[in-house]
Amino acid sequence: MTYGYIIAKFSSKSLQDNHIRDTIFLIQPRRRPITGENPMPLGSNKILESGRPLIYEVSNFDSLGVGTPQIRRGDALRTLVTSLSGFQKEALVASCRSGKTWRMVSDEGKYLNGYDAAPPPLSFLTVGMVASYMNEITALAQRDGVEIRHLKLTLDNYYTMTGSMQKRTMIGGAEPVELQVEIDCDLEGAALNQFLMNAVHASPLNGLMRGEHHSLFKLSRNGKEIAPLKVGQLDADLLPDPADAVQKAKAGEIGENLLIHLGQTTKKNVQGGTEKAASSLSEHQDRRLNIAAVATLRADGMKEIRQQLYSPHGKEWLFLSEEAEVDGGKARAPDAASYISAGIGFCFMTQFGRLVPMLGLDLPEYQIIQDTHFSLGGASGGTGKAGEADPVETHVFLTTNESDDVAREMLDLSEQTCFLHAFCRTDLKTKLKTSLRDVQSLTA
C-alpha cells in the first residue's frame, strides 16, 4: 500500500462559528413541527407515479425560457430544480459546452421520511466527483503514455450536521475526502503516487475544494425580488421565474437505463452515523454522513459507478456516466460536471424541504436556477493546470404566505445547513490511498 495526501484546503471550525453568529429568530412555527417521531413518508410518491426513467436526456431545453449562462472558464452549467412532493425533486442540467441537457430526480430515504424512490442529493456529487477523477487519471495516462490495465476507484465523502434548528445553530459541514485507487499500470511507488496526485488536482471539481468559495444568491418571494439577509448577494439581475418549465421538458431518445436500484447498501460502522427513521428531522442533531462510490470502466468506455449510502443507511444504486462528444465521449449518459451540479442543487433544495416540517412553515412551491462554472480538466481538457471553479450562483424562487423576513431566514438557514454549500465554503484535503494489483490476482 502507498499512502499520500493531497492538501487542497483545511477545515475551519471558526468559519462555521462565524457563519451562525448574530442569528436572529424570525421564524415562529404556525403549525406543530414534525420531529423525528413521525414514521410516515411526506407527500406523495410522484417519481414512482410518473413511470418515467430516473435519468434521461432532454431535447427541448432551449425552448423552455430558462436560458443559459455565458462560459467563463471551460464550461457553464445551468441547473433548474423544482420540488415535486415531500423531498422528491426534479432537475434539468444543461451544459453550455456540450449542448446536452439531462433530467434527473432525487429522493430521500426513511431517515427523512422519504419514499427512497431515487438516490439522495449527496449521491450525485459523489458520483460526479469519482467520474471526474477517472476522467483525469485516464486522460493523464494517455498523455504520458502510461498503460493502465486495470483501474477501480473507491471514493468516500463525509459530512456532518450539528446543532439545534429551533436555536438556529444547526449547520452542515464537510470533511476530508478519501480516495482509494486500485490500479495495474506501468508506474509504481513515488512515481505512481505523484501521477495520481496530479490527476486529482486536474479535476475541475478541485476548483471548489481549494480556497473558500462562498455561494452567491438572488431571492424572489411570490414573484417579487427581495434582498438576502446574511448569505452573499449575487451581483446580477434576478432571472425570470421558471414557473412550469420543468413540466414542459420533453425526453429525447431513451436508450440504456442510466440509473438502477441494486438493493440495500451493506452496513458498516460509521463513527457518528445514523440509520433511525426520521433521524434527519430531529430538532437537535450531531450526526455524521458517509456516501461512497466505486467506479470502473466498461469495455465500451462507459463508467459504471456503484453508489453506497452507509450513513444514514440506505440504498445502493448503479449510475452510468460518460463525457460528451466534445470531450471525447459519446454522451450516452450524464457527464461528471452534470452530476456534480445536480447534487449541489438537490442538496440545497432538501434544506428548504426540511424547514417546512421542522418549523411548521408555509412553502407549497419552491424552485431554484443554479449556475456552476468549471474550468476544463487539466488532463482531459489539455490545460495542464489544476482545476478551477467559481462560487456557485443560485436564484431562489419561493411561493409562500410567510413574510419577506421569514423568506430571507429560510434562505439563510437552507444555505447554513446545506452539506454541499458547506463543501464549497470549507477548506478540505483529500487522502489518497493506492493499491497495486496485478492482472492474475484481479482475475483469480
Nearest to 128 by CA among 411, 354, 367, 420: 420
Asked whether the predicted pLDDT for residue 40 surpasses 90, the reply is no
CB atoms inside a 10 Å sphere around CB 437: 15
Interaxial angle between packed helices 121-144 and 189-202, expressed in degrees from 0 to 180 and rounded to the nearest 10: 120
Q: What is the mean pLDDT of residues 419-440?
A: 84
Asked whether the predicted pLDDT for residue 436 surpasses 90, the reply is no
Asked whether the predicted pLDDT for residue 32 surpasses 70, the reply is no
366 beta partners: 398
- How many CA atoms lie within 13 Å of 314's alpha carbon, on the beta-carbon side? 32
Q: What is the mean pLDDT of residues 406-424?
A: 97
Per the document, the length of the chain is 444
CA–CA separation, 359 vs 348, rounded Å? Answer: 17
Phi-psi domain of 162 (left: phi exceeds 0; alpha: psi -120 through 50; beta: other): beta
CA–CA separation, 188 vs 264, rounded Å? Answer: 36
Nearest to 218 by CA among 204, 202, 201, 235: 235
Average the pLDDT over each of 14-18, 47-51, 173-177, 390-394 and give the range with the smallest value.
14-18
Report pLDDT for 122: 98
pLDDT digit string, tens, across residues 344-377: 999 999 999 999 889 999 999 999 999 999 999 9
Q: What is the mean pLDDT of residues 373-391?
A: 97
First-to-last CA distance in the chain?
Answer: 20
The share of the chain scoring above pLDDT 70, in percent, equals: 88
Report pLDDT for 25: 52
Asked whether the predicted pLDDT for residue 444 surpasses 90, the reply is no
Arithmetic mean of pLDDT over the chain: 90
pLDDT digit string, tens, across residues 257-290: 999 999 999 999 998 887 665 566 777 889 999 9
Report pLDDT for 26: 60
Q: Which three cell numbers stand for residue 150?
A: 486495470
pTM for the whole thing?
0.91
For residue 312, cis peptide bond before it (omega within 30 degrees of 0): yes
CB 417, CB 172: distance < 8 Å: yes
Q: Which three cell numbers stand for residue 121?
A: 442529493
Which H or E element spans position 20? helix 13-20
Letter for the amino acid at 235? D
Report pLDDT for 272: 86
Which H or E element spans position 136? helix 121-144
- As to burial, measured by CB atoms within 10 angstroms (0-12 exposed, 13-18 middle, 19+ buried), residue 235 is exposed
Which H or E element spans position 413? helix 404-417
Asked whether the predicted pLDDT for residue 37 surpasses 70, the reply is no
Report pLDDT for 21: 37
CA–CA separation, 285 vs 211, rounded Å? Answer: 28
Report pLDDT for 273: 86
Report pLDDT for 41: 72
pLDDT digit string, tens, across residues 158-184: 999 999 999 999 999 999 999 999 999
- Confidence band of 16 (pLDDT split at 50, 70, 90): very low
pLDDT digit string, tens, across residues 75-131: 999 999 999 999 999 999 999 999 999 999 999 999 899 999 999 999 999 999 999
Tell me the backbone φ, ψ of residue 64, rounded to 5 degrees: -90, -10
| Cβ-proximal residues to 149 (8 Å cutoff; 6+ apart), any chain | 184, 185, 439
- Confidence band of 437 (pLDDT split at 50, 70, 90): low
Report pLDDT for 11: 34
- Confidence band of 6 (pLDDT split at 50, 70, 90): very low
